[in-house]
A and B are shown apart, each in its own frame.
Chain A
């Protein structure tokens, strides 16, 4: 079928008038809404962001708090039913007993004691985001003992608490890294696409060169050079910048190819012939047409940076304690015996997978919606 056959004819009822007057962003949103996976991705992502932002309040325990009576303790899953019947969500109390096999003293659940899970439980005073003084947490136990939803690590620290604080750090590394990539990619790719000629040639060759170096080994090498004397915060910034510096190449290529294809579009030629200045052409034509693609590229760049951070920290070249990131948490889970005996210490990995999946779903949906003027479904 030729183009004109699928062309909508002007209709005068209200619904079609809305479509006729819909801007690019509205059309993108309408199309995006129909992408089920992307909507799931968006939902999961906003949940994760909520967890990360309100970590101080949501986390039942403080991140560096050690529960010496519950080292490597298994997850406490709230129940509503046990042999004593139904009840308000609770976890069982703990008691010390001797392990029948190893004969060591261990902590085990006491099925006769119920500790109820309460909302807005009273807690030790803490400062939300470092400023807001609070004395309540979202969840807690009725008797004031600590709730370890995902269990504890080898120092008795709460895995869930640390995970959502780590989520905050990892997401911030991702955001900062992507922002650095974004600025560099847009600038360099835009320059190559707009100037063309030998500038374009040189930039493209440089990008190919950088892209031919395997990413992770390069990251590892650069990270290994970060001086050991640096504080955890300095290392955090160094690693973030590193991840961002090496991630811009893909975006630069996307921006460049988009600009080159746009440059010769009839409507851009028409604008040039109408004496519209370069700056206005960029602002009115090139930017609005590229923005949606840039957003897609950025969304799809997230997983790479998050996975990069995780792998680096996992190997011990990335972020350093006391900064907790998802990778830092996993570093302690390297030992196969630890995993075998207390698999819950691996649970931060669920967050990694969730972030990556959510961003991938979201990115795919955005990509399908990014050009609402194509015929593609």
Chain B
């Protein structure tokens, strides 16, 4: 290569000082080059040090972090060459480089924007730091920038606060701020992770366009191989602070040489392929629903101002569907679609406003869930259980694993047979018996999720609502937990209502798919039909927006794509 890199990271090592003075190495000997005008994807799971590398380049490391050795050279080989890792973080030199040489877009636009300053105040500030212009001129430039990031009505939006904008719009505003100093390098640190998949597609497209218009160099940090495959020219894969592999996107995705990268890709590709063709299974049981939902409405009142009628928010708005015995029905939707409320309503964790839910356990009962009192609900609870999304919030930190798993059994069955049930369920969920005397803080996310599964299954339920059960986990752990869930389904004859926003998980495990939009059911059918030949427009858009971990199917390279 003849052109010199614009940024060269050489043997960078960053460590953190822990609470008890122990040293934790976050980045361990990382080296890579960033070429002008390219998008370099840094991919890795949590704890890989990918974000810390970005922070080190910008000298924005937390107080307890130190750069032990290595360089982060900007403009290497030119007269402007400067090693940012040696600059004091608050120095003039470091400050003047930020926003001008290197800008950054963060994961959480809501948290990255000041809640009490207008969007305009923050953009104009950034503009006037880097350019000697008047307030009025800066405001004009800001409106221009907002137009460039495709915020509609920029004259109005500029005077709004972050909380008045939607998630996607906030991220666009963040991008506008990052562009204010006309930077040579943009670090995008998981910029779309907090967004819905359709919004993500728009933001990715915007980033791609801006990058090619300005011929800007971009470091795109993400845990999502799909996004990286769609956007990056070259890829650095990281694991536990070290670089595993560097190469062009094609090399890395098609012929990874490093075993970690291979595992990672295998996990992603595995997720993207259906494991079982279950469609016949579902058809077979179509006349034997375990749960029948008719015209379900769940509404919340939103308190408004004084003397005003409280608003009603219709989280679930007239949904009817059957869940067949033994199937996995995936309930798909973006944030605010009402999928979680639906899941909680059928278990009466939330009381539905109206509609019918009938539960048909295998003992032949017909149980009216909506009409049941709390006491009547009690005997049926053991057959209807739930697995939660957040493995940290869903286990009481004050109880031992034994007590956590035993809690439902004790409440619904008693002490009789508890030991045997515990023994069996922990074996099935691959929980080491030694764990039982420990507290949740001893475990990682994946391990905790298995504890949560054991708790849900100890009373041998027939219907299990999995509410984003693997969304909080890293992709390799996701694969493990999903495999466990499917094995358990096979062995125990479980029926799953699997609530998720992740289309590859849907493809992987579901027999049938139901799509929710704003509380309404827009499409339901076999996984094959919905995923491969969607009928509804929204479903089509949703599917089109999913970035595939395949550099051969790039969405953003040739102009705009049809994602609406």
A: which residues have CB within 8 A of B?
Answer: 1-5, 7-10, 17, 19-24, 27, 265-267, 269-277, 280, 284-285, 288-289, 373, 377
Contact = CB atoms under 8 A, between A and B. Distances in A.
B394 interface: yes
B393 A266 contact: yes
Contacts of A21: 400, 437-439, 442
Nearest to B381: A275
| Residue from the set A17, A27, A266 with the largest chain B CB neighbour count within 10 Å | A266
Contact of A20 (B412, B439, B472): B439
B381 A274 contact: yes
Nearest to A3: B392
A24 B442 contact: no
Contacts of B408: 274-276
B133 interface: no
26 contacts: A2-B46, A3-B392, A4-B444, A4-B445, A7-B444, A9-B444, A10-B443, A19-B441, A20-B441, A21-B400, A23-B439, A266-B394, A269-B344, A270-B386, A270-B407, A270-B452, A271-B396, A271-B411, A272-B349, A273-B347, A274-B408, A274-B459, A275-B377, A276-B408, A284-B407, A377-B19
B411 A274 contact: yes
Contact of B386 (A273, A289, A377): A273
A24 B397 CA distance: 8
B136 interface: no
B394 A267 contact: yes
Nearest to B47: A5
Contacts of A280: 411
Q: How big is the B interface, by class?
A: 35 or more
Nearest to B386: A273
A17 B442 CA distance: 8
B442 A19 contact: yes
Interface string B45-66: 0110001100000000000000
A41 B400 CA distance: 32
Nearest to B408: A274
Contacts of A7: 443-445
A288 B394 contact: no
B441 A4 contact: no
- Mostly, the A contact residues are helix
Interface string B354-385: 00000000000000000000000110011011
B46 A23 contact: no
Interface in B432-466: 435, 437-439, 441-445, 447, 452, 455, 459
| Residue from the set A23, A265, A267, A289 with the largest chain B CB neighbour count within 10 Å | A267
B441 A270 contact: no
Nearest to B467: A266
B394 A20 contact: no
B399 interface: yes
Given A273-B386, A277-B411, A373 B393 contact: no
Nearest to A267: B396
B395 interface: yes
B390 interface: yes
Contact of A289 (B398, B400, B447): B398
Given A1-B46, A10-B447, A266-B389, 7 more contacts: A4-B47, A4-B445, A5-B47, A8-B442, A9-B444, A269-B344, A277-B411
B378 A275 contact: yes
Given A20-B442, A21-B437, A276-B411, A269 B349 contact: yes
Contacts of B447: 10
B75 interface: no
Closest 9 CB pairs of A and B: A20-B442, A274-B408, A266-B394, A20-B438, A275-B381, A266-B393, A267-B396, A276-B411, A5-B47
